Every structure is written in structure tokens, then in C-alpha cells.
Structure 1
Amino acid sequence: MPPGNPGRIVRSLAALVLMSAAVLPAALEVAAPAPSAVIGPPAGPLTDRGAPPAQNRIDLRVPGAAPSIDIRRAGDPANRITLVLLGDGYTAAQQPLFREQADRAWRALMEIEPFRTYQNFFNIRRVEVVSPVAGIAEAEDGRPTDTPLGMHFWCEGTARLLCADESATARYAGEDAGPQFLIALANSEEYGGAGGTGVTTLAGGSPDAGRIIQHEIGHTVGDLGDEYDSAPDDPDYANLSAVDADEMLRTHTKWWRWLGATSPDGGGVVGAYRSTNGLYRPTADSVMRTLGGQYNLPSREAIVEQIYRRVKPLDGAAPTPGVVTGRPRLQVSAVPLEGTRQLAVEWTVNGRPVAAPGGTWLDTAGLTLAPGARATVTATVRDTTDWVRDEAFRDRFMTRTVSWTLTG
């Protein structure tokens, strides 16, 4: 097996293959049974408060205790996905190295669409786990080193499958008000990682760490499958199918809405491209097939949908929706997108559309009501992205409505 490719934690027990443009034209990735799982169903400037002062540090002799630092706070954790970055095999003196590698990893993730556009749907938190020894177990016949998260290569006998003790990782990560995904970085320059369920892992010191996390998070956040030829023939993923394009169109299954669209991943027109394992993939190539690529359109849609299953497009409204007195300025707080496109806000009064120059707010001072009359003002926040073609999903998860009743 050629060296240099990360594994993916999946429901399958079979070995997988991934082509990596970064290492070899057709390098191998292998995977093994999943020992880890996702722990739960980022606007504003980046902030890094730094490590707490020594007198405020948590006693690391207590199992599962380590300093936790919010390095990117986009919103209330109750309505955000928190990516929790933890390190293993980094001594106290190597914590600056962990911080550097952790920052490089999450920033690489936010460079690829759709994570770039939806980065404000994520908070980023770093947990500085101090290890008594430097590095992790890398040898096939070596015993796991005495590190807090127990990270090691050769998980389940697979060279580049990098695993962690998920119970210990969850204990160090702690809980939050909303959903979390745990990302464990190993103090290693070897090439490896894993994703899918539970703790997403990567070798923090690998030159390809950023490209590894882009691929592995596709499994973890988007619930995507591997598109390479030797992946298990499991079509239970949004980007894999057991039937061809004609059958998708006939039965309205899988990515039938996308057939014929030009995909931004460089893989050509969305169709049904058959792999050696008998499954069909949406495009000739993508990041789920070759490291360093982009997500194809069906995969982007799957990731956006999984994000919206956890994060609502509306953070809140003021004043509190319901009956209000006077003529207040009504306002909604939509989760901001990165870039020029923002979530659409539509206002109506008694069901009739009205112009709102403020976009996210409406001044009701100009409304004329007869004495004793009432008016219902409604604001609808909606994500109109063309990366989603499932309109029923858009209506259910990507749209939120609030209303106020004004009295004359």
C-alpha cells in the first residue's frame, strides 16, 4: 500500500482507496470500522483571547480538564455548530505548535465552498490538552503512547487510519449549548486522518493537513461517501448511487435535480459516472475522490442541508414577536453569510408585501391605522442559494417567519 493517505471512518468494514493529487497520481486511502462519532446535532471579527494566565489554568491532573479558548465566535452556540479542535501528543512547551496547526486546519476548511460562504454558521473553539509525552504512536507494532486522547496510527490494522479515544476526546471537549463536531489533531508529520462519525482526525504536522480536513469533514458534516473506485459499494450517501441517470430521473431519486448542471468542482457536467465498484458518482472528480479538489454540486447541497438541520437562519427578532404597542422599529437578526449574497428578508403588512429600505428592519412609524384597528407585520428570512434545489427542504429548514401585531 503506497504511503501517504488518510483513512476515513465509515459504516463499512472494507478497505477504501482515495486518489491524492498532493502525493501520488493514484495514491491509496484505506478505512476501517468507526470507533468514533459526531457529538451532536461562525458574524463578527475573529477573536483569540489567547491561553489563560497561569493562575487561571485548569488543573490538568483532573481527567478531562484543559483550557478551552473561543478562537472564533460567530454567534450564540445554541444556534451555531461548534468545531472543537483538540490536540494530542503536544507537551506544554509545544502548545504554540498546536495552536498554529489548529489555526491552519480550520482556516483551510473555511477556504472551500460551501464552508467559505457559511463560515458564520460555525463557532471555533480550541482545547489545549497538554500531553506528558511528545508525539503519538505511529509504528504498526508499537503500543499507544501515554497521551490524553490516545491517538494512534494503524487503527484496526490500517496504516494511515488515525484514531482517537473518543470517550476521552469528548470528555476534554466538554459540552456546549448547541451541536459540536470534534476535530483531533495529532502531533505527527505522518500522512493520515479519519472522518465520518465521531472524532474527525488528522495529523496536524502533515504538509497536507488542510486538504485532509477538507476531505474528512465532507464525511463528518455532509455525511458524504468516498467517490473513488475501490470504496465499498454502499450507496447510502447523498453523493453515491446504485442507479444511473435515467433511473434517477424516472424515480426522482438521488441528485436527479442536478443532472446536466455544470459543476464548479472541475468534474464537468453533473451526471452518473460509474466507478469500478459499480456505484455512480455525480462528476468525474471532486474532493471526495481527489484531495485538493472541490465539492461537486450534489455534495454542496448535502453539506448546506446538514448545516441547516442544526442551525436556523434566524438568530432572533426585536421587539419580541407578538402584540406590540406604539410604532416601533421591527428588526430581525439573520445569520450573515460571507460574501455579497445575504439571506433574503421579506416584509408584509396584513399579507401584502411592503418595501423595507433597511432590509433587516422595518420602521412602522409610517403605517397608518384607524383607531382600534390591528395590523400584522411579518418578516420572512429565507436562504435563496442556488446550491439547494430541494424546495421542500428550503421551506422547512432554510426559511423562518416571525410576526408582530400592531394596534391602532
Structure 2
Amino acid sequence: MRRTLAALLLLALAVTPAAPAQAETALPSAGPGSATVVPVQVTGSPAKRFNVIVMGDGYTESQLPAFAADVDRHLNVMWSIEPFKSYRNYINVYRLDIVSAESGIDCDPDLGSPRRDTPLNMGFWGGCNPASVQRLVTMSNSAANTYANLVTGTSSANRQILALGNSGTYGGAGGAYATATGSNAMSALISPHELGHSLGGLQDEYDYYQRGVPGGAYSGAEPSSPHHTLLTEAQMAEQRRKWWRWLGEESESGGPIGRYEGGLYYSTGVWRPSRHSMMKTLGYYFDQVSREIMVRRISAKTDLVQSSTPAGAPVGADRVLWVEPMHPVSHALTVTWSLDGAELPATGVALDLRTLGLSPGTHTVQAVVADPTGFVRDPAIKAALSRTVSWTVDTALSTPPDGVEPGIVASTPTERPVGGTDVVYVETTHPARSVPRVTWTLDGTPVGDGGPALDLEPLALKPGTHTLTATAGGQSRTWTVDATAPATAYELSAPLVRSGDTYVYNGPVEMRLTGADEHPGYVVSESRVDGDGWFNYFGWPTSSELPWRFTETGTTIDHLVFGRLPRGRHVIDYRSIDAAGNAGAEKSFTVTTIAPPPACTRTVTGAHTGPLTVASGVTCLNGAQVKGPVTVRRGASLIVSGGSVTGAVTATGAADVQVLNARITGALSVHGTTGSLVLAGMELRGAATLTGNADPILTGTTINGALSCAGNTPAPVDLGVPNRLTGAGQCAAIQAAADAKRAASEPYEAVINSAAPEKGTDDHLHD
């Protein structure tokens, strides 16, 4: 399908963090243009891995630590996303520290901005081309390839280049190679999206050709893309085509897998599997359909059987056969052994033929290595995630001593902490006449069954840092196990009222998430709204330092809408994922948004003495101190924000009456409002009568006097923030709710609206 400029604007390619295996390599020259290869994660020979090379441009020598931090963020975001999270051991990652003569990249952010002297010649506007667009960041592909060749053992066939430009402006490009800016709020989210293209062969699910321009109607044949279709759900199920196996499943990116119109840059006439997967909206996960394809593509970049007993010539029946499978982080591959077509009870990576009592002659032994992942349902993909090794065993042959001693030759990287639920492995030597036993100890206590892999999840480790050691033949490997989940703190802008983790707002809601962990590495925070998909918290699109901003209509930035939150009650879950892959416990808070007050036509501030009559329009008392009665006539509106009224407040047939975080000393009588009646965070020192009003809200309010409610439509509600009152009639229900909450010892507080943020400890919305 066509690849448009819109697609090229959301690109990048990256991968992940932590480990060793290759010494740092540098160009012989020093100063600008010199480069150092830093192994970030090396899990095996480059010839048997998918190699990601992340190189920087526009970083001076003194800025290389900033480049390393940018890479850490990009990679840790990648590791928080499946299937990269589970298959991180299939990938080698190398960082190329390239010294730039000048800081920054060309034409950032405008065509009139300076050109920079940088080794990769990166620049916005497609390399400062007036016919291009700002967000398209290109580079010299030949220079990038020259630098990538510094990583020994990699080639264009087994590597992917990601170049990060030293800029905080949003931008990137993709194709054979990928670019992204290093420090923009959203740049780390470009990487997995672009890998969906370059590694997974996935198509864009955008419903526009370019931002701000609707894509129109698709009129072609059934798309070849596995995640786009013209078929209905019934047709997919009947014909067993496309994503029929996943229909109805709750999507990893939010909502059920089904049929959602728009994709391939068209607004109508073509459908995608989920509401907003990563290929539709940056920040969400791959949905199950795309994730299944990505599992196959990642696996295809490696060999599921890394090595084995040589299978070319017959072997004797007096030896051990072995296979060395790949090692996902989340689970172990299965090995099934068979003899002359009959499955054996043997498990594990080695089979001692001497235990089989073979009859004289030749026999066939097979080992089938398979990936049992639940990410795959398609039988064709399952078959692709399986390898078979066969040997001819001749009982007439004798195996000579090979002199191989038990020992450890490779393992899960030891330079970074492993997660508390990881599968940790060692690869041992393979003597012909014995199966090396691996002794595992956790904090000095033996664990495991002597095999070469240990699944930490069933051990249910206590939170904290542990030491894991594997020993075979006198050789040992030791890991730090990070079994402590990261903590997440949230901050919200000041609400109208609050009770514990329940908040009420009548305007924008600003939210900041901060993840923290006891071990080094970038912590990825996430949130979701009303059970929708988990969404990466990156700050605000224009700056990672700004909080996320929710509004009823959202905020349009570069033709995309961010932070749209419909009016009403919403549950926001939040959590963080640390550099070891540990996910923190899901916690939540509740936000209820109501309509903002009407615009003021008259504003009163400061002191006012004497009666005050609101005859028409909208009178706002903003922090005023009124000494005298207040009367609101039919059709007029009164908004009291802060301050105080000493005197009775009476409203009959008013349009709107709202008393927000203010104090009234006197009686309150409101009858027959046609718009809104909101009493939020107020204190009334007197009796109150509320009758015949539309949609009344009493939330976080204290009434030190009798309260009578009747004929309101519907009955008054407290929005989850209890009141302190003695209510009769319709208000008895909200009084009972408040009493129940206090009896349950739940916290209560009425929060006065101010500039101070509200904090919660151990957020986002989408396009």
C-alpha cells in the first residue's frame, strides 16, 4: 500500500537497554566525527540476533551523557511494550556515541534556523528542503551505514539503524533506516511504531492522508494488509479470515477487537481491528492482531535453536544429545523429544541416549523446540515458531571421550538487574557423556530443579533486592534481582472538592505522573481512562515537563486532538514499569467533571455592604465579602467563588446558582432554577431549602442547619464527595451516603480551589 508523508512523520526505530558482551569500539580519530560503540544489551552473537544500533547526531562531546539518557528513555519505553518486553533477549542493542562539532541539527525548527556541522547531517524539513515539511527529519544514509559497520558482526541484513537527533522538536522519518528527535516528549513513542513498519511489515491505521485532511473513501479490493479488511465480523468468522480468531477479545490497546472504520490513510470504506492501537495512535500498545505478527517477525530474525549436537552424521547410542533454544524473558520454549516417531517422557534441553535401552540398529531421535506463547493463535505462525532437529542414532557406533568439562558459556545478561518474574537462564558446555547440572541459589538458599533455566515468578519473591547465583562445573554467574515494583505518584490541579482519591472539577484537569524506582534506569509511567488501553505518560505533546491536560473538547495540536475527556465521572488507573520490567500495582483515582459556570456579565470583588440584587445576566462574586442579603431574580444567575456572604441568599426561578468554596452566614433558599444548581465546597451557617431545581449538585458541602429538599429533578447528588449536613426529603439519601462513608473511615476533605496541585501517591488521554 502507499506510504505517505503522513506516515513518515511518525517514525523512528529503537530498541532497548542493559547488558554487555562486546568491548567498546571507537574510530581511530578523536574529536568531531569520532565514534564509540557502547554495548547496551548483548544477549548473543550478532549473527544470531536482531541487532539494533542507536546512533546520535548533533551531540557534542560534553552532551554525550544527554544522548545516553535519551537512548535509555527510548529503550525502556520499548521494553515496556509487548512483544518487545517478552522477547528482549532476542535483541542486541548497541549505542554509537558520535561526537558532533556543533550542537543540534539543521533547520530546527524553521528553514531560517542555522545549519549545523554534524556527522550524519541530520535536518528537519527533509534536510532543509522548502518543498518538504518541518517534522520530516532526514540524514545521510551512507554516513549512518558507515558508522553502523563499526558494530562487528552486523550487516544490513541483521540490523536496524535508529538515529536520534539532538533536538526537543517533534520529528522523525522512517524506511530502511529511522530517525527521531532525542528529547521531544513523544519521540520515544515513535520507535515502536516505526518498528511496526520496518520489522513487522505493518501498515498505518491512520484515517487521514495528512494531518488535518480527511482521507476520503477507500475503493480498492480486499487489502493485503493482515490488519485491514473490507469484511464484516460475521464474514471474517464464517470465512476464517483476517483476525477472526481474536474477535471479541478485550484489546491490549483498549476496547474489544472488532471492526473499526478507517485505516490505510482512508476515513471510510476500510476497517481495522481496534479503536486505537499503536499503528493508529502513538502511546498505546500493539493490539493482539499486530502483536501476533510482531512475534513472528522478531522470532524470524533469530534462530529458535541456537545450537545443537551436530546432526549431519550418525551418532552413537552412548552419548547425550542436546539443543540450545532461545530464551524469552517471560517464558521458556518447550522441547519435545521423540524416538522413532514415539514421544518420549523426557523434558529439558538434553537427552541421555543411554537411558533409553535402544535395541541394536539405527533409530531416529527428534527434538522439537516450540514457543508456547499465548500471543499467537494462528496455526501458521505457531508452526513458524517451531524448529525440529533430527539425529540418526547407530548403536554400533562408539563415542570417544571429548574432554569437555561442565561449565557456563553464556547467560542472561548480568550487568543489569533482572525482574522479579523473569525467566533467567545459563547456557552450559555440553559434554558427550554427561548432562551438566546447574545449581541455583537465591539469597544463599537452593532453588530450582538443576536445569539451565529458572522461572522466578513461581517463587513469589518478597519485595526487595535479591541475589541469584547459578553454578555449573565450578563456574558461576550472579544476578541482582529487582523484585520491588516501582512507585507512582500523581499530581492533579486543584479541584472544586475532593474526598480521598475522588475529585470534582468544573474546568480543565491537569495531571502529572511520576514513576520512581530504587534501581537506575528510566521508569515508564502509564494511565488509562475508564478501562481503556494503557497509554504512555509522556507529559504533554509540546513538552515532557508539562502535565497532561484534560478538557471536554480536548486540545488540538498540529491537527491532532489530545486530552479529550467527556463531561461526567471517570476512573483513571495508573502504574509504572521499571527498567527491569517490573510493573507496579494498578491504582486509581476518580475524576468527575461538571459544566463550567456561565460567563460573568458583572463581577463583584472586595467588600460590599448592603443588599445585593441580581436582576439579570450573570453576577459573579469573586472572593467578595458581602454583608447584606442577596436576591437572585427570575432568569438571572449568581456565581459565588470564594469569599463570604453574611445575610440570606434567596433565588426563585433563577437560571444558575453556584456557590463554590465560599461561606454563607444566613439562610439559603433556592427554588426552581432552570440551569444549574451547584453547592460545592461551601459552608452554610444557617438553614437551606432546595425545591424544584434542575440537576442539583451538593458536593463537599457543610450545612450547619436544617436542610429541606423536595421536587428537584433528579434528586441532588454528591458526585462521590460526601457532605456534612442534616438532610430531609430528597437530601436524606446524600446524607446517608455521607454517614456511610464516614463510618467506613474513608477520608473526607473539602478542598478550597487554589493554584496548588493535589497530590496522590503510591496520567493522559488519547487522540
TM-score w.r.t. the length of structure 2 is 0.45
Q: Does 2:362 match 1:368?
A: no
The correspondence for 1:192, drawn from 139, 154, 171, is 171
Residues 264, 75 of structure 1: CA spacing in aligned structure 2 closer, same or farther, 3 A cutoff?
same
1:146 aligns with 2:137: no
**Letter matched to residue 402 of structure 1:** V
Give the C-alpha shift of residue 218 in structure 1.
2.0
Q: Is the 8 A contact 1:322 1:403 kept in 2?
A: no
Q: 1:237 to 1:147 in 2, by over 3 A?
A: farther
The corresponding residue for 1:344 is 334
Partner Cα distance (1:222, 1:112) in 2: 14
Q: Give the equivalent residue in structure 1 for 2:20.
A: 47
Q: What's the offset of the Cα at 1:203?
A: 1.2
Is 1:162 aligned with 2:137? Answer: yes
Give the letter aligned to residue 360 of structure 1: V
Aligned CA distance change for structure 1 residues 45 and 364 (closer, same or farther; 3 Å) = farther
Greater per-residue helix proportion: 1
What secondary structure does 1:401 align onto?
strand
CA contact (8 A) 1:329 1:363 kept: yes
The question of whether the paired residues in 1 share the 8 Å contact of 2:58 and 2:165 is answered with yes
Instruction: Report the counterpart of residue 404 of structure 1 in structure 2.
Output: 391
Q: Secondary structure at the match of 2:66?
A: helix
The alpha carbon displacement at 1:104 in A equals 2.1
Q: Compared with structure 1, are the counterparts of its residues 51 and 382 closer, same or farther at alpha carbon in structure 2 (3 Å cutoff)?
A: closer
TM-score of the superposed pair, with normalisation by structure 1: 0.81
Residues 245, 140 of structure 1: CA spacing in aligned structure 2 closer, same or farther, 3 A cutoff? Answer: farther
What is the CA–CA distance in structure 1 between the aligned matches of 2:143 and 2:385, rounded to whole Å? 35
Whole-Å Cα distance in 1 between the matches of residues 394 and 57 of structure 2?
Answer: 60
Change (3 A) 1:192 1:47: same
Q: Displacement, 1:11? A: 4.3
Amino acid of the structure 1 residue aligned with 2:389: V
In the alignment, the residues of structure 1 paired with residue 291 and residue 46 of structure 2 have an alpha-carbon distance, to the nearest angstrom, of 23
Letter in 1 for 2:352: D
Q: Equivalent residue for 2:86?
A: 117
SS at match of 2:314: strand
> Relative to 1, partners in 2 of residues 1:326 and 1:50: Cα closer, same or farther, differing over 3 Å?
closer
SS at structure 2 position matched to 1:215: helix
Whole-angstrom distance in 2 between the partners of 1:218 and 1:129: 27
Q: Aligned in 2, Cα 1:11/1:147: closer, same or farther, shift over 3 Å?
A: farther
Shift of the 192–59 alpha-carbon distance from structure 1 to 2, 3 Å rule, reads same
Q: Please give the secondary structure, in 1, of the residue aligned with 2:125.
A: coil
Q: Pick closer, same or farther for the CA change 1:162–1:220 going to 2, 3 Å.
A: same
> Which residue is equivalent to 1:380?
368
Change (3 A) 1:389 1:144: farther
Q: Select 1:108's aligned residue among 47, 52, 77.
A: 77
Please tell me the residue identity of whatever aligns with 2:163. A
Partner of 2:44: 75
User: Structure 2 vs 1, CA of residues 13 and 57 (structure 1 numbering), >3 Å: closer, same or farther?
Assistant: closer
**2:208 pairs with 1:230:** yes
Q: Report the equivalent of 2:228.
A: 240
**1:184 is matched by which residue type in structure 2?**
A
Deviation at 1:237, TM superposition (A): 3.2
Q: How far off is 1:288 after superposition?
A: 2.0
Do structure 1's residue 58 and structure 2's residue 28 form an aligned pair?
Answer: yes
> Given that residues 375 and 406 in structure 1 are in contact (C-alpha distance below 8 angstroms), is that contact kept between their aligned partners in structure 2?
yes
1:285-324 to structure 2, matched below 5 A, reads: 285-320=276-311, 322-324=313-315
Decide whether aligned partners of structure 1 residues 60 and 169 sit closer, same or farther in structure 2, where only a CA change above 3 A counts: farther
Q: State the partner residue of 2:377.
A: 389
Q: Secondary structure at the match of 1:71?
A: strand
1:300-344 alpha-carbon deviations (Å, 9 max, x no partner): 0121122233222111113555411242222111110112x2111
Counterpart of 1:173?
148
Question: 1:80–1:190: structure 2 CA closer, same or farther, 3 Å change rule?
Answer: same
Is 1:135 the counterpart of 2:101 in the alignment?
Answer: no
Closer, same or farther: CA 192–338 of 1 in aligned 2, 3 Å = same
User: For residues 32 and 389 of structure 2, what CA distance do their matches in structure 1 show?
Assistant: 46
User: How much has 1:384 moved relative to structure 2?
Assistant: 2.4
- How far the C-alpha of 1:236 sits from its partner, in A, is 4.9
Deviations 1:337-375 (A, max 9, x none): 112x21111000111111224x111122212123x4222
Q: Which position in structure 2 is the counterpart of 1:19?
A: none
Q: Distance in 1 between matches of 2:377 and 2:69?
A: 38
Secondary structure of 1:290's counterpart equals: coil
Provide the C-alpha distance between the structure 2 equivalents of 1:139 and 1:238, rounded to a whole number of angstroms. Answer: 37
Letter in 2 for 1:281: R
> What is the letter of the counterpart of residue 195 of structure 2?
I
Q: Structure 2: how far apart are the matches of 1:114 and 1:259? A: 20
Residue by residue, what CA displacement relative to the aligned partner does 1:182-229 show, whole Å, maximum 9, x if unpaired?
11111111122233x222221111233322323232222222222232
Give aligned pairs, total. 369
**Aligned equivalents of 1:179 and 1:346: distance in 2?**
29
Q: Does the C-alpha gap of structure 1 residues 251 and 98 become closer, same or farther in structure 2, counting only changes over 3 Å?
A: same
Shift of 1:79: 1.8
Deviation sequence 1:96-154 (CA, Å, 0-9, x none): 22122112212221210011111111111112221111111213314642211121122
Aligned to 2:245: 257
Letter paired with 2:185: P
Q: Which has the higher contact order (CA 8 A, sep 6+)?
A: 1
Sequence identity percentage: 33
Letter matched to residue 167 of structure 1: S
SS of corresponding position for 1:154? helix
Q: 1:128 to 1:193 in 2, by over 3 A?
A: same
SS in 1 for 2:191: helix
Q: Distance in 2 between matches of 1:380 and 1:389?
A: 19
Tell me, what secondary structure is at the counterpart of 2:321? Answer: strand
Distance 2:163 2:301 in 1: 21
Cα distance 1:283–1:13, how it changes in 2: closer, same or farther (>3 A)?
A: closer
Distance 2:143 2:335 in 1: 43
Say whether residues 1:210 and 2:188 are aligned partners.
yes
Segments of 5+ residues of structure 1 without an aligned counterpart are 1-9, 17-29
SS at match of 2:207: coil
Distance 1:51 1:79 in 2: 20
CA RMSD of aligned residues (A): 3.0
Matched, 1:269 2:242: no
- Contact persistence 2:9–2:172 (CA under 8 A): no
The amino acid across from 2:46 in the alignment is P
Whole-Å Cα distance in 1 between the matches of residues 140 and 292 of structure 2? Answer: 31
Matched to 1:145, the amino acid is: R
